[in-house]
Amino acid sequence: MTTLVGLDLAGRRVVVVGAGRVGVRRTRRFLEDGAHVVLVDPEPSDEARRIASHGDVELLERGVEVDDLAEAWLVVAATSDRGLNARVAAWCEEHRTWCVNASDGESGSARVAASSTHGDLRIGVVSNGPADSRRVAAVRTALGRLVETGAVDLRRHRRRQGRVVLVGSGPGAAGLVTTAGREALATADVVVTDRLGATWLLEQLPDDVEVVDVGKSPTNHPVPQEEINRILVEHARTGRTVVRFKGGDPYVFGRGGEEVHACRAAGVPVEVVPGITSAFSVPALAGIPVTQRGVATSVLVTSGHAGADPATTAALAAGATVVLLMAVSSLPEICAAALAAGVAPDLPVAVVEKGSTTHERVTRATVATAVEVLARAGVRPPAVVVMGLVAAEGFLDDPVCATPLREVADV
């Protein structure tokens, strides 16, 4: 009967005998756990030498000696010599040191679980009978995928210090929510949510998860930012996990920095799970690459709240792509300033409404015609505006666009 135990190896000596494929794989695993790893092998693999050259492990290029096991908390015998592995296991038995015999799961005193990490949880699977690494790995993978979907309730049942997790949910499409974001949402006791992003995920939460809607629209800000900060801190101080569910990425015009600062100032632990920003993903899904060698080698992401910012005009004049968020109402001012500064009137403009969703719509114009075209089309937020050569309709289908790429490749 095998007892599954989690070992804290951080800062502790772990000896791996055998620096081949198996030994190196185990070494990487222990390094992730923060262990001090000693690799012993008279003929280590090139990969083992590479890892040792970075100073991550101590490499002994000689045969193993019983004294090498002194002060070790865990030993792995992973050579290609079954007899040597058995001797190492016997030495460990004499010294009462846990040992994994990679060539014979029956003779060692320990087994390394096939595991996957999900936030502050780790799933581990071991064989309770004869060792079967492929079987336990398959079970581990299946369980891990289930957790990654967010379908497992990961909330804490023992009250500890409360915390806040800022989760970027991407532009809204199901496949663009990160695994880490879904797992964080599954830990929530309270969700403080925006209007945009993958809000459909909230319908999958258990009924007793409290959802606080603080969403804003261009003309309606029912909950000021200071109040949002207070809500986050207040709920966390009761010992609950608070997920701040935000569209896009928390740090790309999502005021995430202000919320992190408020939590830290209040002494509340806070972490950030980055999201796929709509500034890049929405144009990409609409067939617009914001950069392309030989055409647009830089990109400026700015907010429409900045209005006719000189930086925007300068970027357009320099041939950069400009991506504007929250800019539908300020676009007339921005286009007028660009034309006044000498930006080409026929420079393409594309506006992507409700990007990544089933209601996505792309409207094309130029700097000179954008105001009239957008008004006629009735363009409304949320929308992402892209200005630059890459915003032209059929840009990726135009063979001329590929010419600079070939020229660069031939240099």
| Residues 6 or more apart in contact with residue 314 via CB below 8 angstroms | none
40/67 Cα distance (integer angstroms)? 12
Whole-number Å distance between alpha carbons of 115 and 209? 29
Cα–Cα distance between 37 and 28 in angstroms, integer? 9
The one catalytic residue among 194, 246, 249, 309: 194
**Among 197, 145, 206, 144, which Cα is nearest to 166's?**
197
What is the phi-psi region of residue 378: left when phi exceeds 0, alpha when psi lies from -120 to 50, beta otherwise? left
Pair of tokens at residue 318: 């320099």
Question: Please, what is the end-to-end C-alpha distance for the chain in angstroms?
Answer: 65
Q: Would you call 216 a catalytic residue per the annotation?
A: yes
Nearest to 194 by CA among 176, 210, 173, 217: 217
The C-alpha atoms of residue 393 and residue 101 are separated, in whole angstroms, by 62
**219 secondary structure, DSSP code:** T
Residues 6 or more apart in contact with residue 159 via CB below 8 angstroms: 239
DSSP secondary structure letters along 233-255: HHHHTTT-EEEEEESB-TTSSS-
What own/partner pairs with CB < 8 Å and gap ≥ 24 does 343-348 have? 343/313, 343/316, 343/317, 343/367, 347/316, 347/387, 347/388, 347/389, 348/387, 348/388, 348/389, 348/390, 348/391, 348/392, 348/393, 348/395
Q: Where are the alpha helices (DSSP H) in 252-369?
A: 256-265, 278-285, 310-317, 331-340
Does the annotation count 194 as an active-site position?
A: yes
Residue whose structure tokens are 């809607």? 213
Separation CA 378–CA 395 (nearest Å): 24
Maximum Cα interatomic distance, the chain, rounded to a whole number of Å: 85
Helix (H) or strand (E) holding 180: helix 179-185
- Residues with catalytic roles: 194, 216
